[in-house]
Amino acid sequence: MAHIVVIGAGLAGLPTAYELRHLLSRPHKITLISNTSKFTFLPSLPWVGLGLTQLEKVQLEVSELVTKRGIEWLPEAVTQLNPYTQTIHTDAHALDYDYVVIATGAELALDIVPGLGPDNGFTQSVCNPHHALMANIAWQNFLQHPGPLVVGAVPGASCFGPAYEFALLADFILRQQGLRDQVPITFVTPEPYAGHLGIGGMANSSQLVTELMAEREVEVLENTAISRITSQDIILANGHQLPFRYSMLLPPFRGPRFIREAVGLGDANGFIPVLPTYQHPTFPSVYGAGVVTQLAPPEATPIPIGVPKTGQMVEAMGMAVAHNIALELGAVFAQSVSPTLEAICFADFGDTGLLFLADPVLPDPETGKRRRAITLGGRWVSWMKTAFEQYFLAKMRWGSAVPWFERLGLRAVGLSLLEPVPQGEHRSVHRDALSH
């Protein structure tokens, strides 16, 4: 019987562990390892940073969710993975695996720009729970002592939605509190244009974002690189300086150290290369899911940026991985599948918001087109985002990755999570060793 280890209990890892448990009979052992005891719904962290919700409300204790469902739980950080011997080390344990699913999300490359915070710098981030709490403490202080606000992302970043969300929600709160006239807001982005989002824009995303920023009197500096940050100023690569009293800047992502240190496992930035099945091209026992997987940008941009991986995309990767492992173990009889990378994403701006529907997220490399791309705005988007948060947390409590009614709902709007891998693009790996 096989031992499958999933590393990371986030938006990709926890649903993957549930789906594996659903597809594989009990003698197969599933272990979930994560360096934190809690699951965090990361899309809500901008709200935490701005004091619009509490962190506890978007977190779940993983232990009680998984152990009662027949998933072994190890709340420890993976420090080493040897894909040749198929062993994983934490500080306290060593585990052998037949398959490993790496779903660790991103490590934040905060050292890439001198002065980038919050740990050893001057700016805030909302990319992990700890940073969101720090951002909120600084934000409460800022409301007492308002001044210039700078929001955006530094070169190499790939996740831009939360920066737009943070800037426009901050504007909304400041207006509500009668402080907006004391706070000039500047948005700095390495994207070639506002609303590019790392994916070459989508439908009228650029126009809608630009109009919204202008309406809310947010100055936008696009195609702009930040080179250094001091306690009072953001220094741009063109030499200009932006004074700030509060700043939230999104950093670039990279894979965790144990991937960067394992020869041949990841690329130069620690991202896992994957086949259409999300299996590693060199190590058949390794699969990747989530932000830690490699996804090439659709086009080169004047300032390098990455491609975002949204909640729905990473969930689809996890579903594909669980299916393909079950297929190799003979637990399902079907074809290998690939995530479609279609996605719906909501951005909340307080009294309005934007819905992005991209089918698929990355345009066709040859035609530069997607099957469908829709951007819609309205107050209802803000409510949808709350509903999405509550729904996701509820299904993680139920122990269900993607329930049938969700698949049905997606199909109703013409979306699906998985598609068969085109002939010749998957690799069938028969593994006799799995009888032990």
Ligand X SMILES: Cc1cc2nc3c(=O)[nH]c(=O)nc-3n(C[C@H](O)[C@H](O)[C@H](O)COP(=O)(O)OP(=O)(O)OC[C@H]3O[C@@H](n4cnc5c(N)ncnc54)[C@H](O)[C@@H]3O)c2cc1C
> Of 35 and 223, which CB lies nearer to ligand X in the complex structure?
35
| CB of residue 314 to ligand X, shortest distance in Å | 4
Angle between helices 311-328 and 13-23 (to 10 degrees): 30
| CB of residue 423 to ligand X, shortest distance in Å | 29
| CB of residue 162 to ligand X, shortest distance in Å | 4
11 binds ligand X per the rule CB under 6 A: yes
Q: Which two tokens stand for residue 138?
A: 């600084």
2: buried, middle or exposed (CB in 10 Å: 19+, 13-18, 0-12)?
buried
316 binds ligand X per the rule CB under 6 A: no
The reply to whether 127 belongs to the active site is no
37 Cβ contact partners less than 8 Å away, ≥ 6 residues apart:
61, 62, 63, 75
Q: Which of 4, 127, 221, 345 is catalytic?
A: 345
Instruction: State the DSSP code for 172.
Output: H
Contacts of ligand X in 69-88 (CB under 6 A): 77-78
Among 6, 8, 202, 320, binds ligand X (CB under 6 A): 8
Total residues at interface with ligand X (CB under 6 A): 37
| CB of residue 81 to ligand X, shortest distance in Å | 9
Strands 3-7 and 29-33: parallel
CA nearest neighbour of 338 among 293, 391, 282, 387: 293
> Of 143 and 355, which CB lies nearer to ligand X in the complex structure?
355
CA gap 258, 265 in Å, rounded: 9
| CB of residue 233 to ligand X, shortest distance in Å | 25
> Of 180 and 343, which CB lies nearer to ligand X in the complex structure?
343
CB-CB contact of 15 with 318 (8 Å): yes
Contacts of ligand X in 89-108 (CB under 6 A): 103-105
Peptide bond into 360 cis (omega under 30): yes
Give Dmax over CA atoms of the chain in angstroms.
Answer: 69
Among 9, 151, 362, 373, binds ligand X (CB under 6 A): 9
Per-residue x/- marks for ligand X, 43-72, CB under 6 A? x-xx--------------------------
> Of 43 and 115, which CB lies nearer to ligand X in the complex structure?
43
34 binds ligand X per the rule CB under 6 A: yes
Q: Which of 71, 100, 150, 159 is catalytic?
A: 159
291 binds ligand X per the rule CB under 6 A: yes
| CB of residue 255 to ligand X, shortest distance in Å | 9
| Chain residue at closest Cβ approach to ligand X | 10
Other beta carbons less than 10 A from residue 298's beta carbon: 16
CA gap 192, 304 in Å, rounded: 9
> Of 42 and 233, which CB lies nearer to ligand X in the complex structure?
42
DSSP codes of every residue in 93-146 = -EEE-SEEEE----EE-GGGSTT--STTSS-B--SSHHHHHHHHHHHHHHHHS-
Q: 170 in helix, strand or coil?
A: helix
396 binds ligand X per the rule CB under 6 A: no
127 binds ligand X per the rule CB under 6 A: yes
Which range in 184-192, 220-228, 268-276, 287-295 contacts ligand X by CB under 6 A? 287-295
Which range in 3-11, 139-147, 182-190, 263-271 contacts ligand X by CB under 6 A? 3-11
Angle between helices 205-215 and 161-176 (to 10 degrees): 30
126 binds ligand X per the rule CB under 6 A: yes
Element of type H or E holding 286: strand 286-288
Strands 99-102 and 218-221: unpaired
68 Cβ contact partners less than 8 Å away, ≥ 6 residues apart:
none
CB-CB contact of 279 with 324 (8 Å): yes
| CB of residue 234 to ligand X, shortest distance in Å | 20
> Of 250 and 421, which CB lies nearer to ligand X in the complex structure?
250
CB-CB contact of 4 with 20 (8 Å): yes
Among 83, 117, 148, 161, binds ligand X (CB under 6 A): 161
201 binds ligand X per the rule CB under 6 A: no
DSSP codes of every residue in 207-236 = HHHHHHHHHTTEEEE-S--EEEE-SSEEEE
309 binds ligand X per the rule CB under 6 A: yes
Among 4, 5, 6, 12, binds ligand X (CB under 6 A): 12
> Of 180 and 341, which CB lies nearer to ligand X in the complex structure?
341
Q: Which residues bind ligand X (CB under 6 A)?
A: 7-13, 33-36, 42-43, 45-46, 77-78, 103-105, 126-127, 159, 161-162, 256, 258, 290-292, 309-312, 314, 345-346
Kindly list the catalytic residues.
Answer: 159, 345
